[in-house]
Structure 1
């Protein structure tokens, strides 16, 4: 009798392990996804800063496409930016600074559990950086960023 009870319960350990593993992997994938989202957030902030620095240090006649390509080197998901010299219509002598803004950045989950709940991408906030005129063409390393 004892032998048949032991045989009947021998598969219970494997089932419990499978359930615990499923729970553990769900949490692990959630942590990885959340970490990726924080990395994307941080990279978007840094790309905005780098784009503003590139625009203010190199030349005030830069086109948005040139700034966008520099920013996409840091975060390829960036597709829409706005480069605004302030005040509008200023010249290099009268500009107060430059503002670079990222809009329309979305984050996609890789976790299948989170993916079932939210198939649509998660919109991230607008990232913006303003650099004042006082740093225009004042960087001694401007040749390295402008090339």
Structure 2
């Protein structure tokens, strides 16, 4: 006598698909987090380069705008000229940093109340020797 097994195949497929989708979404979320990490690091580098090349002492909003072009999630940046209170002629360099950047998971398993994952702070220092000198891009300051 033959037993009916068509329903069992459907249940097995559904369970296998669920596990596969969980794994796939986990990999996608982790990849997005690594991309955000990499872009935050690159944004601090680009912000420091813009600040030091364009000689924008005190123009933190312009540096933030340059960095947000790479990573829109950035809301605040710190721009610290060395030594503090220097002018364009006396500055030794600039440190640009990001703090308070959070990563939002998109996996539906966590649901709508997905926790924000705090990312570490990122910072880049560039010396004054490259101020107003950029042989690769004369239009960076425009």
Tell me the TM-score normalised to structure 2 length: 0.94
Q: Give 1 or 2 for the bigger CA radius of gyration.
A: 1
Contact 2:79 2:97 in 1 (8 A): yes
Q: 2:101 aligns with which of 105, 109, 114?
A: 105
- Give the match for residue 133 of structure 1: 128
Large movers: runs of 4+ above 4 Å: none
Mapped partners of 2:59, 2:87: distance in 1: 15
- 2:96 counterpart SS class: strand
Q: Which runs of 5+ in 2 are unaligned?
A: none
Contact 2:77 2:99 in 1 (8 A): yes
Root-mean-square deviation (CA, aligned residues, Å) is 1.6
Tell me the TM-score normalised to structure 1 length: 0.91
- 2:88 counterpart SS class: coil
Q: Which runs of 5+ in 1 are unaligned?
A: none
Q: 1:39 aligns with which of 14, 35, 38?
A: 35
Q: 2:114 aligns with which of 105, 109, 119?
A: 119
- Give the match for residue 88 of structure 1: 84
Aligned length: 142
Q: Quote the offset at 1:96 in angstroms.
A: 1.0
Mapped partners of 2:131, 2:79: distance in 1: 15
